Structure formats: C-alpha cells, structure tokens
Structure 1
Amino acid sequence: MPKTRGEIKKNNLLSCAACPKFIEDNVYLKCIYCFKHFHNLCVGIASSDKSTGSTINTWECPDCKVARKRGGDNFNTPLRGATAAYSPPTISDSAQNVTMRRREMSPQSSLTSTDIRNIIREELELVQNSLIDKFKHIVRDMVKEEIHSFESTIEATEKAIAFLNDEYDTIKKNLDMHLQNLSEIRKEYQSMVDTTRDITARLQTIEQHSRSKNVEIQCVPEHKNENLFTIVLQLAKTVSCDIKEAEIHVCTRVAKMDLKSGRPRSIIVKLATPRLRDNFLAKIIKFNKANSNEKINTSHIGIAGKTPVFVTEHLSPLNKKIHAAARLKAKEKSYKFVWIKQGKIFMRKTDTSPYIYIRDMSSLQNLE
C-alpha cells in the first residue's frame, strides 16, 4: 500500500505530516496516537520552547485530540492537505489544546520545483517497482508454461529417438544378415559364371571340332538348277586337289547370319576326313599365291564373270563373330595378317612379329 506523507523519507529524513517539507533540524513532535511527525511551528509551538522535542512522549496532535473529544476514530485523517501549509503562531504550552484557525499560507511556503521532482520521482519509483513486480510474475508464469511445454516436447522427442534407435538396431541387424547372404550369393554367382564360361568354352570347342571336316565356300552366285557337287568338284579340279564325289558327304547352302546382306548364301561342304579338308584348303592357298592376279573366282567353276570366291574353314557362330571383329581390329591397329587354322583365329602385325592367338573378344581389347 502507498506510504503516508509522514512516512516518506528523504535521505533518512522524516517528513512533516502538516507541511510538505522534511524535518532537517531534528526538532519535531511525534503524536503518541497516530505516530506522525510535525514541525513545532506547524502545530503552533515555538521552537525555543524547551519542553518540546523528540523526547516528549505524551504529546498528541490536534487532529487526534479532536477525534478523541468527538469519540470517533479519525486518527488517519491528515492534519493538512498535501498542498496546503500555513505558518502557525507562536504560543506557549498552555495553548497546546486550543484549536487554531487555519489561514492561507504565504507564497514563500509553497513547494519548490526540486521538492515536486523528488515527490514525482518517488511516486514513479513506487509505480515502477509495482510494474516490475507484476512483470516478473507474468514472465515467471510464461516461462514456467513454456518450460513445461518444452519438457513435454523433449519427452516426446526422447521417446521417438528411443523408438528410432530400436528400429535402427533391427534394420542394421537385418542389413548385416542380408549383406552376409549377398556375399554368399556373389560367391555362388561368380562360381556359376566361371562354370558357365568353362562350359561355354567346352561347347565351343566341341562345336568347332564337329566342323573339322567342313569347308565353307563363299560368294558363289545362286542359280535355280545349280549342282553344288559339280561346283565343288570343279573347284577341286581347278586347284589340283583329288577329291572324288564319294568323299563329299554333305554339300548344301546355309542360311545367312545377316539377313540384310546382299551376298549369296554360303555353301557348306563336309568331306570324308579332316586331312582331306586341310589338303583342299592348302591347295586353295597355294593356287591363290601362284595366281595373285587371278585368284579363285566364278570363272574357275564354270559360272560367267569373275566374281571372287572364298574358301575357308567352317567356323562356329561365335568364332565367326570373333573373326569378323579381328579383321576390323586389324585395320584399326594396322595388323597385316589375320588367318584361321584348326578353327582358331590368329593375327600378326608384320612378317617377322610373333603371332597372336585370339581366344575371345577380350583378347582383341588387349591389342596394342
């Protein structure tokens, strides 16, 4: 609650309850009922009166006297207004109980600007302290509420993190198990790849070996009433190779590997023995070397024109692809020779360089 004027202090100085000034000379009166402090002159007592002073403990203020005579309780009624003050006359102790008529204060007794500023400053400090206390309570309540909400959020987050940790452990355990299974599957896969590669190589060898008696005649024009046996015998006679008709077991044309190719279908000839096949191929090579200006062509087998005719070993489909890729690689890397022997493809860069066995497509990638 706000302080009364008699309780306001300035630098530990008491304030007079009758006027707005402070008691500075330590000469004052204190009422035994309302405990207010008064200047001697403000209550009509001369300051030179020796009977007055702070040691008097039987004095009562005029307002308390009036209140007691009326039988009422009006001890809290101030003796003078906050802004009203007067200069009481000097009287003796015998006139203490005489009711003095108030009169207007002189202009000299009005409040100074310093006093007003001090009073305003004190009031503002009181208001400021009250507002600060209220603000502290409001902020404290808000902080408590926010902390409670934050604690709830943290608790929910901790539960979520714990759940995620459990899920992570489960996932990690499953992942480790799957990785182990995957490693085993990779080993099995690699083993199957190696086995498949080995089986493929064996099948390729078997397939090529089944063609060990065969020769392939390419670029022979097709005719409706052609006799392939006669063509083969005429070709053998041209290169001076003694082949009888009984030694030709099979003679037929085969389908094209590339349907868009304009070349005629090849003729596959199966002879009696691999040795006869090799002898026939050797005679072909010898004839072409001896007649470099006029190698084997359609005129040598009784067909008009001089279209070149090629006689090679009968290769398996895979070896044909490797042979075609080897020829392209030879042009790219400037290799001079590409040939086939016993179903195998070889390459040589110069006349004196060592030959290279082309086992598969990867062998071509390693060529320099």
Structure 2
Amino acid sequence: MSNVKKVCNGCRSAIEDRRYLRCSNCQLFYDLVCANVSEQRFYNTMTVDHKAQWRCVLCMSLQPKFDNTKTPIRVASTEVTMREGAAVATSPLALDVLAVEQPPSLTDTLNDTAHNVTIEITDFQSFVMEMRAFREEIREEIRANRLEAKRLNDSVVMLANRIDNCESGIKKLNERIDQLEVSPPPARDDVSSLSSEIDQLKTELNDRNQELLLTDIELTCIPEQKEESLLHIVSVVATKLGVDLSEQDIVSAARMGRTIDATQSYAIPRPRPIVVRLARRATRDKLLEAAKVRRGATTENMGFSGKTCRFFINERLTKHYYA
C-alpha cells in the first residue's frame, strides 16, 4: 500500500485522517468540507457503495447533457460545446475538431471553478452556523425575559393580595365605627353614679389615713441646725408653751422634706417642718390648746442661734387637705 500523502483536489491541503471521499470518475481525493458532505451524513447515511460511486463537482459538471442531437458529424461552426450538453463525438473528424476547439487550460479552469464553489459552500456553512448561534442567543434572552416577567407578575399578584387584605381591614374598621356611631351612648346616670362612688371611696380612704395621724403634730418655723436633737427641741417647745412633756410621751420626731446640703450656696427660705408622733391623743390636744392660748410664741430664750422668729404648732393633715 502506497504511503503517498493524499491531497484535497479542492483546497490543495493535505488529508491527515480518513474523513475524505474519492471520486469514482477522476480518482481524485476531496475532504468532507470540499466535498460538501457533513460528518453525520458521512458516518451514518452514506454506505460503502455510495462512497464508491461518489463523484466530485468537477466530474459532475463535465457530464454531458442530452439535447437530442442525432447528427453523426458536428463541425466547429455549430458552436456546440461540452458545457451545452452535446454528446461526445466518436468519429475521427469530430475528435479533431474538438481537439482544436478545446482550450489547453480547461482542466485548470474546471478545478478553479470547483474550488470557488467549495469556498462558497464553506462560507454558506459558516453563515448558517453563525445564524444558529445567534438564534440560540435570542432564545436564551427570551427565556431570561420570560423568567423575569414571571417574577414580576408574581410580585404584582402578591402586592395585589396585600392591598386586598388592607382594604378588607379598612372596611371592617369602617363598619365598626358605623356601629359605634349608631349605638346609643352609655347612660349618664351610670357615669354619675360611678363618679359618686369614686368620690366616696376617696373620702373614706382619706378619713382612714387621717385617723392614723390623730396623735401627730407638726412644728413649723423651728430653726434647723446641724447635729440637732429633735426630742430635745420638742421638749423645749412644750416647756415654752407651759406643757409638761417627757421623752416617754414622744414616739418619734423627724423633719419632713429634702435634706439641706451644706455645700449649697443659695439660702434656704424656711426650715423644714418637724413631724412629731405622740404616745397619746390627749397629749397632742394639750399642745394644740396651749399653742392657741400662747399664739405668737417665739424662739426667744430657747437656745437657738440666729434671729428670733415665731413658730407654729398644727395638727398633721393628709395631702388631700393641702391640694
């Protein structure tokens, strides 16, 4: 078997594999591109007989066409050529005429024609492949647009459902408001009775709180000093009023209000009151009566430093009376 490399008669390039066809007429080789045969057809459709009987474009173009010419001898003036489909002459005279008329470069011209046809077919195949790729891109874009449109449609449907729910809730609220407007208002008598009961309960609560303060008195305008003894101050005040008061009669004594800060630069307008709880109510009544008799008593000769001032004794009341 010959080892000569096969050369495609169409594109003049070497054939390296088995994907080629051999013309049954001229015995020349053509690759699948120049033969205009797809690989699918070459491997699946064409049989061994088809490949053996295959003819190239050049041989197909040289095949004579029948024009019903029955003349035995054709002269040169008839202008019938092989391209026009005339039958091949068999007489010596006809052969001589054809030999004279045939140009010397006919084979090269036919080869160039086949090569041009092959190039045109290859360009057409490339154009078809580009169109197919462009079609696939268009399809992908259409699929993406459809998917985006579907998502947008789903979002619109969801928003429409939310709007419907909001409208339904607003409708229910409007119906509720209409019912409240139509229904009669609560009876004023009930409101008045409830208000009376509340006032009564407040009064009872205040009375009970006041009962808890029956043994308390409140001393006001008593000068406030550091490290003072409130029990001693209460005893001095009782002596000033002429009431005999021992420490056993005093349960507790404390100043009410905010504690004075020594670092404060501003002056306190008046001292804090002293709240005294006594052991018996009778003792409290004695002190209140003595304060009424000696109205206008002052802190003179009571051991307080500073300017002499008046002091007052009152019964202790709840916040209700100060309101």
TM-score, structure 1 as length reference: 0.35
Determine which structure has the larger helix proportion and give its number: 2
Question: Which structure exhibits the higher relative contact order, with contacts defined as CA atoms closer than 8 Å and separated by 6 or more residues?
Answer: 2
TM-score in terms of structure 2 length: 0.40
